[in-house]
Amino acid sequence: MRIRIQEIEFGVNEPSESEEFYKSVLGFELSVSQNELKVLKPGVNELDLNFSLHVPQGTVFISFLCDDLEEIMSRLINKNIPFDGPKKSHLGMKTISFRDPSGYLVKINIPTDESPQWLRATFQK
Q: Is the pLDDT of residue 4 over 70?
A: no
- HSE toward the beta carbon, residue 58, CA cutoff 13 A: 0
- b/e string for 96-120 if b means 16 or more Cβ within 10 A? bbbebeeebebbbbbbeeebeeebb
List, as one string, the DSSP characters of 13-47: S-HHHHHHHHHHHH--EEEEEETTEEEEE-S----
More confident residue, 45 or 11: 11
Percent of the chain at pLDDT exceeding 90: 42
Enumerate the H helices of 1-125 as residue ranges. Answer: 15-26, 69-78, 117-120
The domains of the chain, with CATH numbers, are 47-124 (3.10.180.10)
CB within 8 A of 69, min separation 6: which ones?
Answer: 86, 94, 96, 108, 109, 110
* β pairing state of 29-34 and 37-41: antiparallel
Find the range with the poorest average confidence among 10-24, 55-69, 108-122.
55-69
Give the pLDDT band of residue 2 (cuts 50, 70, 90): low
SS3 call for 98: strand
Question: Is the distance from CB of 60 to CB of 103 less than 8 angstroms?
Answer: no
pLDDT tens by residue, 82-93: 999 999 998 899
- CA–CA dist 82, 80 (Å, integer): 6
- Predicted local distance difference test score (pLDDT) of residue 29: 87
What pLDDT does 122 receive?
Answer: 79
pLDDT digits (tens, 9 = 90+) for 14-60: 889 999 999 999 888 888 888 888 888 877 666 666 666 767 778 77
